[in-house]
Amino acid sequence: MESKAVFEILAREHSRMLLAFLRSAGCDTTTADDVWQETMLVAWRRLDEFDRSRPFGPWLRGIAIRVLLNWNRRNSSSLQLIGDVETLDYLCERFDRIQSLAGDTLQEKLEVLRDCLNDLPPTYRECIALRFENDLAPSGISEKLCVALETVKKRLLRAKQRLLQCMETKYPNKSLQGQR
């Protein structure tokens, strides 16, 4: 199969994962779209360097980390992105584990995540929705909900912990927990 066709298939298969990764790194929708596009362009140009015997997702996220760090350096005054390599590597590790879970597609895994979101207490679900669906920073969530910023941060942290526990329950044979 020619390189262009292979790239189109792999890019389509990993597109949503890459956007989820960028959003988990703190990108708003516009920034995630810009970094996603630049990552895909770099991946296309460097496709001949991709080892087809290895998974495409980690290779693509590795490119995204470099693009994101460069983008963050150029635009750091206006954004609150996760900007250190260790944290981004940790996110990559978590995404690798999620991709190794049972379930054939990212869509199936997202359905489980939606189920887990529905199981959250309303205050946690509201914070998660405002942060990840409405692109509000914790300070904006604090202002919108009229609660202290520290309360919002704790709710977001606890919500993420509960989501992780729920996902691990749904996939008991595959652990998402890893060494930090």
Q: 114 lies in which domain range?
A: 104-180
Euclidean distance between the first and final Cα of the chain, in Å?
39
> Which one of 24-28, 72-76, 141-145 scores highest in mean pLDDT?
141-145
Residues 89, 109 share a domain: no
Per-residue pLDDT tens over the stretch 11-33: 888 888 888 888 877 777 888 88
* Interval 41-57 mean pLDDT: 87
Q: How many domains does the chain have?
A: 2
User: 111 and 160 in one domain?
Assistant: yes
Same domain, 146 and 93: no
Query: Whole-model pTM?
Result: 0.52
Write down the pLDDT at residue 73: 78
Take residue 105 and report the two structure tokens written for it: 């597609």
Least confident of 1-10, 76-85, 96-105, 148-157: 76-85
> Are 96 and 110 part of one and the same domain?
no
Pair 83, 109 in one domain: no
Given the structure tokens 């329950």, which residue do they identify?
Answer: 169
pLDDT band, very low/low/confident/very high, at 36 (cuts 50, 70, 90): very high
| Rounded-to-integer distance, Cα 65 and Cα 143, Å | 31
